[in-house]
Structure 1
Amino acid sequence: MNKQILVTGANGYIGKHVVEWLLDNNYDVLATDICLDRVDDRAQKKIINIFENSEDFLEVFKNVGVCIHLAWRNGFVHNSLTHLQDIPKHYEFLKKMSDIGIKNINVIGTMHEIGYWEGEITEKTPTNPISLYGIAKNSLRQSLMILRKNENIDLKWLRVYYIQGDDKNNNSIFAKILQKENEKADKFPFSTGKNKYDFISVYELAEMISKASLQTEIKGIINCCSGNPISLKEKVENFLRENNLKIKLEYGAFPDREYDSPAIWGNNDAILKILNK
């Protein structure tokens, strides 16, 4: 019997695309979240709060071989107190997964673990997060690295960067531009747009997360990114053209934030090896 792939946070912005990629590639998916209205009906769906009643749902996970843990509250609100409050809950859930024999554990990370950094981020780049979201993700990663050694887990920490695509369902600048366009606004207040970031489409990211999770040769931190820094100005101008939007960018309406790096991107050597196998 083929083992199931558990996707937590399956109803989220990234989760629903990961579930869809796995299903399209003929994997047996168990999708869990506190709501599952946006999840592909081909998946086995189970509405579960993974932080509660764990003894009740452990029986549901008995056929799971791979855990892809995407669940996270308030991911778009970087200084929400829930990030700190939930660290032990995430850790306890993932330890329970290990305890019942699920050793292929994959957890989504973020470039916000790094904090301020100029240039390329590798697996060895030091972390110094400056938001509660970054602090919480960094703390969970450090905790899981200890658990990994003690319990012989195939742990992959899938670090993501700036995500684009399915823009109506995220909280990015692209979603806000679409909203203003729908409101018939003439201008969109903008910074200088000079800073460079590592953007990736959510559809490509879903493939990266899935393929990285399914293999166990490359472990630890895996940057899921393009490896290619592009200025925010260029990315947004392309977005306007591709979507035939009439709204104009009002450059300089907002100052560039002091804590934003002039250029930051991820090293994608590991994920390219995984994708090319």
Structure 2
Amino acid sequence: MKKTILVTGAAGYIGRHVVKTALDMGYSVIASDFAFKGVDERAEFCDLPIFSGDKNIYNTLGRPDVCIHLAWRDGFRHNASSHMKDLSSHVTFLNNMVSGGLPALTVMGTMHEVGYWEGAIEEDTPCNPQSQYGIAKNALRQSLMLSLKDSPCVLHWLRAYYITGDEAHGSSIFAKITQAELDGKETFPFTSGKNQYDFIDLERLSTMIVAASVQNEVNGIINVCTGKPQSLADRVEQFLRDKNYRIKLDYGAFPDRPYDSPGVWGDPAKINQILKNAHLE
């Protein structure tokens, strides 16, 4: 019997890619969202409101084997008021799924739970989030880890870092540079570019998300990342070359922000083990 995976936020920046990857890997997918533009049509589409508070939501959504919870508003607006407003809706939905009998739950986390940090982020790195987005995600993680402690439901909390790819649907610096290139701009205002981050392409990230979600040997907080820091300048210059863009970076146009770490990346030991076990290295 092939597993059925419910993907919430299926039409989002990450969601569309996760749906396609899961289908390509042979799983059945229930895609949950408000609309389904760009979502792989092999999936079963479901527009039922997941934040209705329905205690029977697990049965209503078709009793999937795995839930990959990607649904989140304003992910690119880190201090939007919606992050804290929506928090209890996420908690209610996920706890109702678990109490209904969900065997495995994956929730998308973020490096922004940690706040300022220099060096490698590990699963037990202390968290002191500095944005409403980070605070809400961190609170959701703490709540779930407490409520699922004695539950048969397996929890995977996947902590993502800097995501590249699919610029047309993102709001990253890469998306902004793409727009500036399309607008015919000659230069793009930039910082010093010296800070180092953990960049991962969306396709590779999607493989990691699905691979981590369908296994239960490696659980808890899992960094979905490369573990290889790269300076922002190097990564963006590489992006410009890959795309054959003519636009040039105007280094130093923006000052480096005092709260940006000179270097931060994820410890990939757990995800590397998962990929190795699944022969997806």
Query: How many Å separate the matches in 2 of 1:271 and 1:147?
Result: 24
Name the TM-score, length of structure 2 as normaliser: 0.96
1:92 has 2:92 as partner: yes
1:23 alignment counterpart = 23
1:115 alignment counterpart = 115
2:5 alignment counterpart = 5
Q: Please report how far the alpha carbon of residue 171 of structure 1 lies from its aligned counterpart in structure 2 after TM superposition.
A: 0.4
Q: What is the CA deviation profile of residues 243-270 of structure 1, one whole-angstrom value per residue up to 9, with x for unaligned ones?
A: 0000010000000001000000000000
1:83 alignment counterpart = 83
Amino acid at match of 2:273: K
Q: What is the CA deviation profile of residues 112-158 of structure 1, one whole-angstrom value per residue up to 9, with x for unaligned ones?
A: 00000000000010000000000000000000001111423210100
Query: How many Å separate the matches in 2 of 1:105 and 1:5?
Result: 10
Residues 111-190 of structure 1 mapped to structure 2, 5 A cutoff: 111-190=111-190
2:244 alignment counterpart = 244
Give the match's secondary structure for 1:19: helix
Contact 2:59 2:100 in 1 (8 A): no
Amino acid at match of 2:234: E
Give the match's secondary structure for 1:149: coil
1:61 alignment counterpart = 61
Give the match's secondary structure for 1:85: helix
Q: What is the CA deviation profile of residues 209-234 of structure 1, one whole-angstrom value per residue up to 9, with x for unaligned ones?
A: 00000001111100000000000000
Query: How many Å separate the matches in 1 of 2:127 and 2:152?
Result: 24
Q: What is the CA deviation profile of residues 21-53 of structure 1, one whole-angstrom value per residue up to 9, with x for unaligned ones?
A: 011111100000111112100000111321126
Amino acid at match of 2:217: E
Amino acid at match of 2:168: K
Query: How many Å separate the matches in 2 of 1:10 and 1:152?
Result: 26
Amino acid at match of 1:76: F
> How many aligned residue pairs are there?
277
Contact 1:3 1:63 in 2 (8 A): no
**RMSD, aligned CA:** 1.2
Amino acid at match of 1:276: K
Name the TM-score, length of structure 1 as normaliser: 0.97
Query: How many Å separate the matches in 1 of 2:217 and 2:58?
Result: 27
Query: How many Å separate the matches in 2 of 1:223 and 1:56?
Result: 32
Unaligned runs of 5+ in 1: none
Query: How many Å separate the matches in 2 of 1:94 and 1:259?
Result: 33
1:32 alignment counterpart = 32
Query: How many Å separate the matches in 1 of 2:215 and 2:80?
Result: 33
Query: How many Å separate the matches in 1 of 2:58 and 2:270?
Result: 33
Give the match's secondary structure for 2:30: strand
Query: How many Å separate the matches in 2 of 1:58 and 1:107?
Result: 16
Contact 2:57 2:97 in 1 (8 A): no
Q: Please report how far the alpha carbon of residue 3 of structure 1 lies from its aligned counterpart in structure 2 after TM superposition.
A: 3.8
Query: How many Å separate the matches in 1 of 2:267 and 2:56?
Result: 41
Amino acid at match of 1:29: V
Contact 2:53 2:92 in 1 (8 A): no
Query: How many Å separate the matches in 2 of 1:242 and 1:3?
Result: 37
Contact 1:104 1:153 in 2 (8 A): yes
Unaligned runs of 5+ in 2: none
Q: Please report how far the alpha carbon of residue 59 of structure 1 lies from its aligned counterpart in structure 2 after TM superposition.
A: 3.5
1:205 alignment counterpart = 205
Identity %, equivalent residues:
52
Query: How many Å separate the matches in 2 of 1:37 and 1:145?
Result: 33
Query: How many Å separate the matches in 2 of 1:40 and 1:205?
Result: 17
Q: What is the CA deviation profile of residues 76-135 of structure 1, one whole-angstrom value per residue up to 9, with x for unaligned ones?
A: 000001100111111110111111110200000000000000000000100000000000
Give the match's secondary structure for 1:11: coil
Query: How many Å separate the matches in 2 of 1:263 and 1:58?
Result: 41
